Chains A and B, each alone.
Chain A
Amino acid sequence: MNQKTLGQVLGAVGLAVLITSPILLLFGAAGTTFVAGQAIFGLVLLGLYLALDPTQVGRLLSGRGTFFAATAGGFGIVLVAALAVANYVAASKFPKQWDLTRNHIYTLSDDTQKTLRGLKATVHAYAFYVPTDRQYGQVKELLDRYHDVGGDKFVVEFLDPDKNPGKVRELGVKKDAGPELVVQAGRQQDKVQQVSEEGLTNSLVKVTHGGEKKIYFLTGHGEADIKDTGATGYSEVVKSLANEGVESDTLSLLEAKDVPPDCRALIIAGPQKKLLPPELSVLEDYLMKGGHVIAMLDPQVDSGLSDLLKKYGIQANDDEIIDPLSRLAGTNLDVPVVSQYAQHAITKGFNLATVFPQTRSLTALAEGGEKRPLALATTNPTAWGETDFKLLAEGRASKEGMLSGSLAVAVLSEKPVTLPDKRSAEARLVVFGDSQFPDNRWGQVGPGNDDLFMNTVSWMTDSSERITIRPKARDASHLTMNQQQMLAVQFFSIDVLPVVLLAVGIAIWRVRRSK
């Protein structure tokens, strides 16, 4: 093989290698470095081609076509670059869309648009969906529409949970629970319950309007300590709350004289001494203005709250719940296991058992006209409220003459607020008959203990009203065809139409050929 032929072969190989490199990159068959290496290899081969046959260079430079090729190539590159820029700008800077559907089904509702335009900080939407998920297309389309309106403030990221274990852990995504969509703004995050415009917009409102949520734990009467890492402390559950964006602090009403304005919920975690009258009046005033209070009242202790609770239709009974059935669950008689919950936002979809060590029973009083308090969690029907504490101290108990049946261990009361300088639209009060259930020890024992407490706090601190957005769809339409009509349509579609076209074609061809 002479030098010239060798050069031509090398040149051909170089050209092929160079041309195919971007295609390889596009189809992800190789990494960027490999492709770049391949492109350079191609260029080297082309260089060899020119080096082995130097006359080519002269011919190339002096040829008539060189000037034309240079100008055409230069102009072509400019045009390609301009078109690429135009595509980039149209795709990312001007998200103009024409919704030509009759009901404007591809246009986001006014509420959503207002929420998206009002975004101050960047919101990330992490979609743990892979293209093989059934809902992938629908989710992508929805998120794209949000991105179009929200622009840089609404960042969408699709992640494969298997390839991003770090993000999965950070956002607390459960991998086995199917694909999930999580919205995150700063430290606030929310899992979108139902992937629809309504679900997504409400999550968006929740993570952005919330800001930093702050709750206060009352101190001064021997309540559970939020910093205590011992068995009776609350340090674990407070840490979990912090992960959900809820900041906890302590409050002494003897020093503060009033509940701070940033307080989303006040928690009274098992006072061991009576609250003083000035404290009680601050508390009553707080509730009347739409305050949110969680009171956890241990048995055999008079917290002095009973009058206030009665105004909200809740009676804390002076007893201790005994449930023989809890033996079966492996706990003591005085640690009832609870698995019956009322229909409420706090307990929605909640199916974990909770245990309440040494709890008193509560009674929801029927009050005329007002919204009836709701027994949120109740024991098994086998339980009773033991009032003979002397007998109990001896390790015995008797059902005789006691309040028995499914007893409430958590009661919830809501009251709309009409005062002008209100804190929220309604006063919310949840009373538990026990303050140990979410502590560092029992929070680990009961499968649902921590969750029940956290759900209650989250309902208490959630001030945003839910936005309702009706899903849009095209109007219904239907076909009324009988068998004959169906046959006619079939005949026309795959017979008459193509055959006529073919017949005309053949006819014209024959006629023209015979001329």
Chain B
Amino acid sequence: MRNALAIARKELSIYFTTPTAYAVFCGMTFIAGMMFLAALGYFQSMSLQFLSYQQPQLLEHLNLTDMVVYPLLRNVGVIFLFMTPFLAMRLVAEEKRSRTFELLMTVPIRPFEIMLGKYLAALALMAVAVGLLGLFPAIVSFFGSSGTIMSSGAGSPIEWSTVFSGLIGLFLVGGAMMAVGLFVSSLTESVVVAALVTFVVLLVMWILNWQAGRMEGVARQVLDYLSMPTHLDAFAKGAPALKDVVYFATFMILGPFLTERAIEAHRWA
């Protein structure tokens, strides 16, 4: 375990002492910021529209969690789709390319520990990303108030329980994507190939439910279930089910397991 933590620490220090992580996070926050402002603007214009109708009961339907935070968290999943291949590509492939992999194989560290260390570092990276995204709901909470414009209510303007559920969901999406990226990275020496293949696999997992719409019966149910947005949505709206947790856990178990096997395979090749 100590070896795994040492590897995780090394991986993290590489991420944060080179511009990679910063560049990716910069892009992520910029695009998320645009999405956030769009949702905020939409909310503002709806408020004004309902106010001008002079029908206070319409204002009762306005909710910042539903109309700003929920769409934001759902859409950020797409940013992750583009972001994780870049973050995961170098995890194992870079070691092979720079010939440090042979070195790693000669020290008394089990492949399991190598895999665990690298995956923990990837998860830590996703935690930081999710933490950065948590700033947006915090802004809403700072400027918003509960109740309607006509009559202010008590309590928090943001339903933090729903927001945390959504952030956890995003973390799990990131974890699942990193698991795929880690495995693909362990199969090749080229970081470009690793990123590209990871992206294609994740994209397929992301758009399966487009295809589901054209099907009927069991086929639709299966495709719907296999696609990632279905499960992120459950977390983002604040009502995750056991199946959503199991779905993400499947990736987070299978990816690292296959990676460990792929690393072990080098001893036997």
A101 touches B25 (CB 8 A): no
Chain B interface SS verdict (over half): helix
B211 touches A27 (CB 8 A): yes
Selecting from B73-81, B186-194, B239-247, the interface stretch reads B239-247
Let me know if B119 is at the binding interface, CB within 8 A. no
Output the least CB separation between B28 and chain A (Å): 8
Given contacts A90-B242, A498-B26, A498-B33, contact A477 B65 (CB under 8 A): yes
A479 touches B268 (CB 8 A): no
Instruction: Kindly report which residue of chain A lies nearest to residue B242, judged by CB atoms.
Output: A96
Q: In the complex, what distance in Å separates the CA atom of A79 from the CA atom of B237?
A: 31
Output the least CB separation between B245 and chain A (Å): 8
Given contacts A28-B215, A87-B247, A474-B65, contact A480 B153 (CB under 8 A): no
Q: In the complex, what distance in Å separates the CA atom of A136 from the CA atom of B155?
A: 33
* Binary flags per residue of B25-39, CB closer than 8 Å to A gives 1, else 0: 111011001101100
A466-497: which residues lie under 8 A (CB-CB) from chain B?
A: 473-481, 485-486, 489-490, 492-494, 497
Which of the residues B26, B36, B61 comes within 8 Å of A476, measured between beta carbons? B61
Instruction: Kindly report which residue of chain A lies nearest to residue B204, judged by CB atoms.
Output: A23
Q: In the complex, what distance in Å separates the CA atom of A64 from the CA atom of B204?
A: 35
Output the least CB separation between A370 and chain B (Å): 36
B26 touches A163 (CB 8 A): no
Output the least CB separation between A125 and chain B (Å): 14
B264 touches A72 (CB 8 A): yes
Instruction: Kindly report which residue of chain B lies nearest to residue A495, judged by CB atoms.
Output: B33
Selecting from B93-101, B170-178, B250-258, the interface stretch reads B250-258
A480 contacts across to B, CB distance below 8 A: 143-145, 149
Let me know if B147 is at the binding interface, CB within 8 A. yes
Given contacts A478-B47, A478-B62, A498-B33, contact A508 B241 (CB under 8 A): no
Which of the residues A94, A163, A481 comes within 8 Å of B143, measured between beta carbons? A481
A41 contacts across to B, CB distance below 8 A: none
B61 contacts across to A, CB distance below 8 A: 473, 476
Output the least CB separation between A453 and chain B (Å): 38
Which of the residues B26, B145, B158 comes within 8 Å of A501, measured between beta carbons? B26
Given contacts A80-B254, A473-B63, A478-B148, contact A28 B219 (CB under 8 A): yes
Let me know if A401 is at the binding interface, CB within 8 A. no
Output the least CB separation between B222 and chain A (Å): 9
Which of the residues B60, B144, B164, B213 comes within 8 Å of A131, measured between beta carbons? B213
Output the least CB separation between B225 and chain A (Å): 6
B138-179: which residues lie under 8 A (CB-CB) from chain A?
A: 139-140, 143-149, 153, 155, 157-159, 161-162, 164-165
Output the least CB separation between A114 and chain B (Å): 21
Contacts across chains A and B counted by CB atoms under 8 Å: 209
Let me know if B217 is at the binding interface, CB within 8 A. yes
B30 contacts across to A, CB distance below 8 A: 494, 497-498
B59 touches A476 (CB 8 A): yes
Which of the residues B17, B26, B37, B159 comes within 8 Å of A474, measured between beta carbons? B159
A292-320: which residues lie under 8 A (CB-CB) from chain B?
A: none
A79 touches B257 (CB 8 A): yes
B148 contacts across to A, CB distance below 8 A: 476, 478
Instruction: Kindly report which residue of chain A lies nearest to residue B223, judged by CB atoms.
Output: A26
B246 touches A86 (CB 8 A): yes
A61 contacts across to B, CB distance below 8 A: none
Interface residues on B, range: 35 or more
Selecting from A154-162, A189-197, A255-263, A426-434, the interface stretch reads A154-162
A133-192: which residues lie under 8 A (CB-CB) from chain B?
A: 148, 157-160, 163
Let me know if A276 is at the binding interface, CB within 8 A. no
Let me know if B23 is at the binding interface, CB within 8 A. yes
A498 contacts across to B, CB distance below 8 A: 26-27, 29-30, 33
B159 touches A101 (CB 8 A): yes
Output the least CB separation between A427 and chain B (Å): 38
Output the least CB separation between B199 and chain A (Å): 16
* Binary flags per residue of A121-135, CB closer than 8 Å to B gives 1, else 0: 000000000111000
Q: In the complex, what distance in Å separates the CA atom of A160 from the CA atom of B29?
A: 41
Instruction: Kindly report which residue of chain A lies nearest to residue B136, judged by CB atoms.
Output: A493
Q: In the complex, what distance in Å separates the CA atom of A68 from the CA atom of B266?
A: 10
Let me know if B44 is at the binding interface, CB within 8 A. yes
Instruction: Kindly report which residue of chain A lies nearest to residue B36, judged by CB atoms.
Output: A493
B47 touches A479 (CB 8 A): yes
A83 touches B253 (CB 8 A): yes
B63 contacts across to A, CB distance below 8 A: 473-477
Given contacts A100-B238, A478-B147, A504-B22, contact A86 B250 (CB under 8 A): yes
A68 touches B246 (CB 8 A): no
B220 touches A158 (CB 8 A): yes
Which of the residues A28, A68, A91 comes within 8 Å of B211, measured between beta carbons? A28
A2 contacts across to B, CB distance below 8 A: none
Q: In the complex, what distance in Å separates the CA atom of A3 from the CA atom of B109?
A: 44
Let me know if A395 is at the binding interface, CB within 8 A. no
Which of the residues B34, B60, B215, B238 comes within 8 Å of A106, measured between beta carbons? B238
Output the least CB separation between A86 and chain B (Å): 6
B16 touches A508 (CB 8 A): yes
A76 touches B257 (CB 8 A): yes
Which of the residues B145, B204, B239 comes within 8 Å of A101, measured between beta carbons? B239
A65 touches B254 (CB 8 A): no
Let me know if A99 is at the binding interface, CB within 8 A. yes
Instruction: Kindly report which residue of chain A lies nearest to residue B44, judged by CB atoms.
Output: A479
Which of the residues B143, B212, B253 comes within 8 Å of A485, measured between beta carbons? B143
Q: List 15 A-B contacts (CB under 8 A).
A: A26-B208, A28-B214, A28-B219, A67-B268, A69-B265, A98-B239, A102-B161, A474-B65, A477-B146, A478-B64, A478-B147, A478-B148, A478-B157, A479-B44, A485-B143
